[in-house]
Every structure is written in C-alpha cells, then in structure tokens.
Structure 1
C-alpha cells in the first residue's frame, strides 16, 4: 500500500479572534500512531512521559521523557507510540510570524531557520532542562485555557522561552557561530526570509520576491548570502531537495510525484538539482537508503 503524506493546513486552527495569537497547543496521551504529515506552521513538541519513535525528515530517533522536536513549515514527520508505555506529548503549533514579531528575536530566528539543516531538529534534554521545559509547558497550557488579561502576551513569551531552551540544548559551538553573525538584521529582512520559508513549494522567483518586497536583485542576493551563506536559488533548492529526500525515505510515492510535490517545475530540473546536492539520482538515493535501513 502506497503511503502518502497528509497535509494539515492552518485552517485547522480554532477560529481566531481579532488580535489573537495564531497559536494552538494540546497535551495528549497517544494511544495511536500519528501518520506521516506536514503543515504550514511551526511545531514544537515535548515528551512528558512514555516512549516511542519519531521519523522527522527521514531521520528516525527514539522518544523518551525529555525528548524535544522542532519543525519548520512543511517538514515531514510521523510518530509511533509504545502501546505498553504510551507517549504523553505536549505540542505547540504556531505561525512562523511569532518568532519574527520582535527585532530582538532576530538572532534566535536565524538559529531556528537552520532546524533540520545545520541545527538538529530534535534533542534529548538533560535532567535540569527537562524539569524547566515541564514547567514552561504547564505554564503555556494554563494560560492557553484561561481567560486572563494578556494571556497571548504570556504565551508568546513562554513559547520563546521554550525555543531558547531547545536551541541552547544543542552544541555551544553551533550557537556561537550563529550568534556572531547578523545580530542586527532589520525586520523587513526577516519578512523576506519568512516568506520564502512558507512559500518555497510554490512558484518562487527572485524577480517575484523583488517586486513583492520592493527590493533590488542585488539586495536580495546580499541578504541570502549574508544570512544563509548561499544564493537565493540555491537556498530554494536546498529546501526543496530536503523535502524530496524526506519523501523518498518515508513514502512510496513515485519519484515524478515527489518532484511535483517538492515544488520543482520539471522532472529534469528535479533530477539535476537533486544530484547536485546529494551526489546521486533520486532513484539511487531511495535504493541505497532502503538497503541501509534493512
């Protein structure tokens, strides 16, 4: 039976009132597996109790108390719970704009944009970090289900706190590298990068980006080189190849369908770009990956 990736759109958010934070959270004891899926918002999940596995962008890792995962828009994942020790999972889903609302969060935002690339998408927190994250999750849940004045301001501050904890749990070498670069970026620059991250599966050109943000091609080129150390088109290809790789690893979709689903305008372009980035054809990548996991 062919496995296809489910798409969970942001319309699944509860109806938002004017001025309400685009945010949703839940705390569930999983009695069933969560099938392969992706969505157009960010997701931060934390294992409070239980055990299982998560496959995130084609990489499978064990889940246990203290495991934390962070997904960017259109990252692909599935979760398998242990029926003898079901997962108690706390999960926050929110719009990418939440981490770009304040210019003071620019450094953190740049780090988070590397999740699944230079920054691992998951980690196991130590004892102190786990205790701290439990407190944060409980605080978020309490505010989310309350009707207190300023609840969304508190929620945002707690989510940022959780994201900082997730980022800090990784190598200090990685974080120092990020913090030393581009600490004073403008809000408009983050708007451009945010737009790319939420629209890379659609037709996206540098000329179109220039028109939308009233910027010159030279400005866009310098921005991507400065912030992400690559060219605009190369970065689009990185995002699309990363998605295609996940689909090749985790589904039985045809390679042609995967090329379309990953945003490539033609199968020829997909094959060429995929080989440039991975050193092998999509077919060989799938075959070798299947052999290594068997």
Structure 2
C-alpha cells in the first residue's frame, strides 16, 4: 500500500528531468485497504483482477475487472479490497498540464473537466472496451519501463487514447447533455486554465485574466475553486514551486536565478512561498536532496 500512496505528494515532480513527462504509472496488487486521500494529480485507474469497493467523493461503487475510475486533483477516494480476491490495479497519475499541451485535445479536455459533475467519475467497461483498455495500459507500462527514443511522446498519446476511451464508454446521452448544457462555460473554463498553464512563468494576475477573457473576478475565483479546489494565486504558486523544485534538484543554477526563472517577482516572495509549500527554504531543500540516502 505504501508504494501506491507515495505518489500523492506533489513534490515527487521535483525529481523530473528536463523534458520529462510529469507522469507515473503503477501496477499494484492491493492486500490492504487504501484510506481516504486526495492528491495533486489526475488519476486514471483500471481494475485488472480482483474485487472490492471504491468510495469516490462520497459515492461507493463496486470494483471488478474492467472497472475504471478517473479523478481530478481535488477529488477524494478510498479503496477497500476483498481479501479473498485482492484487487490488481493499473494506475496512471499525471499532471493536469498533460491534457493542455495540444489545442486538438480541447474537446476531450473540456469533457474531462466535468468529471464528478456532469460526467461520472467511474464506469464498468464492456468486454470489448475492457480488452482495448488493457492493451493500452500494457503499452503504457512497457514504454514507461523502457528507455526508447520518444517514450514520453508515446506515453502521452496512449494516455490521451485511454482518456478518450473512458469518455466514450459513457452513454451518448450523458456526453450530449454535458456538451450542450455547458458548451460555452466549459470552453471559457478550458481556455482560462490552459492559458494559466502555458503562461504561469510570466507575469500573471487575476485582473489580467479578467481583462483578457472578459470575465469577472468572481467568475475566475469560482472557476479555480470549482475545478481545482484552490485559489487562483495559490495555484500559480503551486505551479511555480514545482518548477523551482525541479531546477533546485537537477541544475546548478543559483537560487536567485531559479526564483526568476520560476516566475516569482522577488526573491523574498519566492523564499516565503517555497517554504509555505514545502516546509523548508530553497537552500535547505537543495541541501537535503544532495545528502546521501535522500
């Protein structure tokens, strides 16, 4: 169980190398229950074998071969496995930025942002879809453990394929209702979040977003609370701290240069925000990571 839960900490991203996809996958046989938790990642999990139950955002459903769940960062869940038929889960965890990298993913991304609201967070795949999803997961696992050229490009394409299959596994009525009822709202939400993810290293303010997207401050605030369960500024800080953590561990850049490169307007702000998010100063973080056994 410990190996499964270790990826709930966003600072695991700090070990990513430059150009590496912010992605983890794990195939795990659960012999113990997983307590209620949430994390900073999107999570896609598929039951390969076994039986159990999952309580996702307060709703409990059965887990069996072919059951698939998709969680946004603010969702909470717990899993109970059956001792007589332990759950074998294949799980992918990845940053929300993965689905913002291409404008061609806009339609799928807008639908996925409705998970837990207009779109159910789980489904039981039919035999054909379950077989196809198993093949996709096997391909992801194979690429993830390899050192082949272009592995991260292949992984991303396979994850998008898996997410598309998950969305399509729901009834046309559900997808049509979600698309028609929220088309304008979803597109604006998507555009705003996508813009933040591609511009967080630049000067970015809530007032600036309001002017660019002709939206009120209240709308922007509700968007981040509703979609990402956080405040706008806190989310910007989280993205910048992730980048700074990676640079502290993987480069010899000065801490001052890292603060600038990560989008902070002053070194004082950088130091304060970094400590708020990690519990230590940037210097202590770098020193700790360089110590043997860390």
Give the TM-score normalised by the residue count of structure 1. Answer: 0.66
Matched length: 218
1:174 aligns with 2:177: no
State the match for 2:285 in structure 1.
none
Q: Secondary structure in 2 aligned to 1:146?
A: coil
CA distance in 2, matches of 1:149, 1:240: 34
| Residue 147 to residue 157, structure 1, CA distance change in 2 (3 Å) | same
State the match for 1:288 in structure 2.
none
Deviations 1:59-115 (A, max 9, x none): 111000000000001210111110100000000000000001000000000000000
CA apart distance, 1:176: 2.9
CA distance in 2, matches of 1:152, 1:15: 16
Give the TM-score normalised by the residue count of structure 2. Answer: 0.66
CA apart distance, 1:45: 0.4
Which runs of 5 or more residues in structure 2 are unaligned?
1-5, 199-203, 230-294
Larger helix fraction of residues: 2
1:139-158 counterparts in 2 under 5 A? Answer: 139-158=139-158
Which runs of 5 or more residues in structure 1 are unaligned?
1-5, 196-206, 225-229, 242-294
CA distance in 1, matches of 2:127, 2:121: 19
| Residue 16 to residue 122, structure 1, CA distance change in 2 (3 Å) | same
1:162 aligns with 2:162: yes
CA distance in 2, matches of 1:186, 1:79: 31
CA distance in 1, matches of 2:51, 2:166: 19
Asked whether the equivalents of residues 110 and 178 of structure 1 are also in contact (C-alpha less than 8 Å), the reply is no
State the match for 1:26 in structure 2.
26
Question: RMSD across aligned C-alpha pairs, in angstroms?
Answer: 3.2
State the match for 1:216 in structure 2.
211
Asked whether the equivalents of residues 206 and 220 of structure 2 are also in contact (C-alpha less than 8 Å), the reply is no
Asked whether the equivalents of residues 10 and 39 of structure 2 are also in contact (C-alpha less than 8 Å), the reply is yes
CA distance in 1, matches of 2:188, 2:221: 21
| Residue 23 to residue 31, structure 1, CA distance change in 2 (3 Å) | same
